[in-house]
Amino acid sequence: MIGILIVVSAVLFYLAIVSTQILLLNGRFNRLSYLSIGISIFGLVVALLGAIITGFISIFIFNLDILQNSQHGAIVSFIIITVFGAIIILSQQYILRARASTPIIQAFMNVIFGTATWLFLASQLAKYQSMTLGFPIFILVSILSGVVLGAIIHGILNSFIT
């Protein structure tokens, strides 16, 4: 149950950040592009698959025993996080390049601040998983915090960089 909760909330958090920023950016151009949201979803799927495949390949190539050795687990986790982050940053940069003045900075901020915020929220909300309303609370907080963080990052970049 907790695995499903983590995956669903992470996807909703990511989509909330991306959707908020796309809606705010498209407010300037007076047109709404759902293609950008579709590309974001595709980028997320590619990043997840790329990270999982890279993790398995690194386990087999380097003969890592992640269940018996915590250092091996840390190495594989670092590889997975790096590949996932790089693919997400590239997909975000691809979407933002035509709309934002500094797309790579916004993509980095989305990934770095988004990951840090979501990990903090996940650690704080994990204690509510045993409650009957734990799942809906976690999902609602993930969506709301994604929307707020997306608007904050967009506002920071618009006021200081542009």
Q: Are 150 and 99 in contact (CB under 8 A)?
A: no
What are the pLDDT digits (tens) for 125-149?
777 767 677 778 778 888 888 888 8
Convert the pLDDT of each residue in 21-54 to its tens digit: 777 767 665 555 677 778 888 888 899 899 889 9
**Top-confidence range, 39-43, 74-78, 112-116:** 74-78
Say if residue 36 is exposed, middle or buried (CB neighbours under 10 Å; 0-12, 13-18, 19+): buried
Q: How many CB atoms lie within 10 A of CB 20?
A: 19
- Whether residue 118 has pLDDT greater than 90: no
Q: What pLDDT digit, counting tens, does each position of 77-102 carry?
A: 889 888 988 998 888 888 777 666 77
Mean pLDDT of 104-128: 79
Higher-confidence residue: 55 or 122?
55
Cβ burial 90-129 (10 Å sphere, 16+ → b, else e)? ebbbebbeebbeebebbbebbbebbbebbeebbeebeeee
pTM: 0.76
